[in-house]
């Protein structure tokens, strides 16, 4: 059996930047074990698998190298990028995923891919877990939480950029991951409203380069703090990525560029 695989760098217009995702489209679902094995072999933040139904909706699932992920933004962007390239006549794509329902994706005139996600605004945490405090070298100013992660607020960009982490401590927060974030204030980040980094030792690895799903929580959090619903975010990982965010009631619209890195084939011996 041969499977076409596309590798796409998401939330960037430059190859080797943003966050890489693999995209595989099949007529029917592969077994869970096989999808997990492919994701492990790819060793990317996520591998997305898609199956088209008879109503024109693509059912999508996302796997990190370690586990299936309930919701992944950058691999959704990568998947839409592949579908738009394969089907230039498409003006809208609908994805279906168990955790987030139907997602509507369009391509804007400037070439960005725009994704309509649920608003997952986090709530403030009064009793901060000991593992979170022990897992970060810089104490939080405030901590928030949603169903995906703890959101650690810092006052200074230098804290976000230099904070060290103890992955063994952070693993104890599973199934939740950790976001560190602050308002963008310096000249180096003058084009952005806020910056962040994302740590996920419990679910995917060390640090995720760009995390679209986290911005469905980050965007409404900073929209409230900054008094604006249109925001530009920068995820300050080694690769870096830019996300345009619009908070619209119970939805968060996230847009970004993507660029093709690779097209190839996986050969799997059928038992």
Q: In the structure encoding, which two tokens stand for residue 129, read together?
A: 């877990």
209 and 148 in a single domain? The answer is yes
145 and 242 in a single domain? The answer is yes
| The one catalytic residue among 4, 41, 46, 270 | 46
User: For position 168, which CATH number holds?
Assistant: 3.10.310.10
- For 42-87, the pLDDT digits (tens) are 999 999 999 999 999 999 999 999 999 999 999 999 999 999 999 9
107 and 162 in a single domain? The answer is no
Helix (H) or strand (E) holding 196: strand 194-199
126 in active site: no
- For 180-203, the pLDDT digits (tens) are 999 999 999 999 999 999 999 988
260 and 192 in a single domain? The answer is no
Using alpha carbons, select from 127, 113, 125, 144 the residue that is nearest to residue 220: 144
Specify the 3-state DSSP secondary structure of 226.
helix
Q: What's the rounded Cα separation, in Å, for the pair 40 and 31?
A: 14
> What's the pTM value of the predicted model, to 2 decimals?
0.94
32 and 92 in a single domain? The answer is yes
Q: What's the rounded Cα separation, in Å, for the pair 115 and 181?
A: 22
The count of other CB atoms within 10 Å of the CB of residue 16 is: 10
Q: What is the pLDDT of residue 106?
A: 97
Using alpha carbons, select from 100, 102, 80, 82 the residue that is nearest to residue 92: 80
200 and 242 in a single domain? The answer is yes
150 and 77 in a single domain? The answer is no
Percent of the chain with pLDDT over 70: 99
Instruction: Name all contacts of 155-161 with Cβ < 8 Å and 24+ positions apart.
Output: 155/182, 156/182, 157/182, 157/184, 157/185, 157/186, 157/188, 157/189, 157/195, 160/195, 160/196, 160/197, 160/236, 161/197, 161/236
Q: List alpha helices for 144-196, DSSP H.
A: 157-162, 167-171
- Domain with 166, as residue range(s), is 123-248
């Amino acid at each position: 059996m041969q499977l076409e695989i596309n590798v796409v760098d998401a939330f960037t217009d430059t190859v080797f930047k943003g966050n890489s995702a693999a995209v595989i489209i099949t007529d029917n679902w592969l077994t869970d074990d096989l999808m997990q094995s492919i994701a492990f072999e790819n060793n990317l933040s996520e591998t997305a698998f898609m199956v088209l139904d008879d109503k024109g909706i693509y059912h999508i699932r996302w796997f990190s190298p370690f586990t299936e992920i309930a919701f992944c933004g950058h691999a959704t962007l990568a998947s839409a990028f592949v579908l738009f390239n394969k089907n230039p006549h498409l003006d809208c794509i609908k994805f279906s995923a168990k955790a987030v329902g139907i997602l509507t994706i369009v391509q804007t005139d400037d070439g960005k891919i725009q994704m309509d996600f649920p608003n997952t605004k986090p709530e403030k945490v009064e009793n901060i877990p000991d593992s979170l405090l022990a897992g970060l070298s810089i104490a939080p100013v405030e901590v928030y939480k949603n169903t995906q992660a703890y959101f650690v607020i810092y006052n200074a960009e230098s804290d976000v950029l230099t904070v060290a982490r103890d992955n063994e401590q952070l693993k104890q927060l599973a199934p939740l991951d950790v976001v560190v974030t602050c308002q963008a204030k310096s000249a180096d980040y003058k084009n952005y409203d806020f910056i962040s980094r994302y740590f996920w030792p419990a679910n995917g690895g060390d640090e995720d380069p760009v995390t679209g799903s986290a911005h469905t929580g980050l965007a409404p959090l900073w929209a409230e703090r900054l008094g604006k619903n249109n925001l530009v975010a920068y995820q300050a990982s080694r690769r870096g990525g830019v996300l345009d965010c619009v908070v619209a009631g119970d939805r968060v619209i996230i847009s970004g560029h993507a660029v093709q890195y690779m097209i190839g084939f996986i050969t799997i011996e059928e038992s």
